[in-house]
Amino acid sequence: MSEERGGLMTTESFALKMFEAIGGLSGDLKEVSATMRGIDEKLNHMNTKIEDVKTLAKEASSSADTANSKVNEAMGLIRDNKEDIERLFVKFREKDAERKADKKEASDKLFKWVGIVVPASISITSIIITIIFRLSN
């Protein structure tokens, strides 16, 4: 009986159908294989990008650590310099107060001496003028 009538298949027709099915599967396998290669290439590309991002992240982290270290060092220097500057200002204020006190003391001494010397010189001048007038008369 022939296959068209719903009967049994012959060996040849069965073999032919099997080859057709295998040929179809072969085409499907090639398509699946091509798709898998494409997916593999995309995954490899993504893995490369992920590695690049990891490298950049490590470099950024290292740079951040270096920057943080430099900032901490600078902050330490600022603290140290601030203390030094404050000490210098305290010394400057002390010296300034001492200079003002010395100037006041010198001014007071000068005023005292002027208070003594001027009247004394006026008195001596008066005596000399009196002597000159008496001698001239």
pLDDT for position 93: 92
Residue 107 is given by DSSP the state: H
Q: What is the pLDDT of residues 4-57, one digit of tens each?
A: 555 677 888 888 888 787 777 777 778 888 899 999 999 999 999 999 999 999
pLDDT over 60 at 2, yes or no: no
Q: How far apart are alpha carbons 75 and 117 in whole angstroms? A: 61
pLDDT for position 23: 75
For range 64-78, the mean pLDDT? 92
pLDDT for position 66: 94
Q: How far apart are alpha carbons 1 and 9 in whole angstroms? A: 8
pLDDT for position 6: 56
In degrees, to the nearest 5, what angle opens at C-alpha 63 toward C-alphas 59 and 66? 140
- Residue 89 tokens read as 């200002």
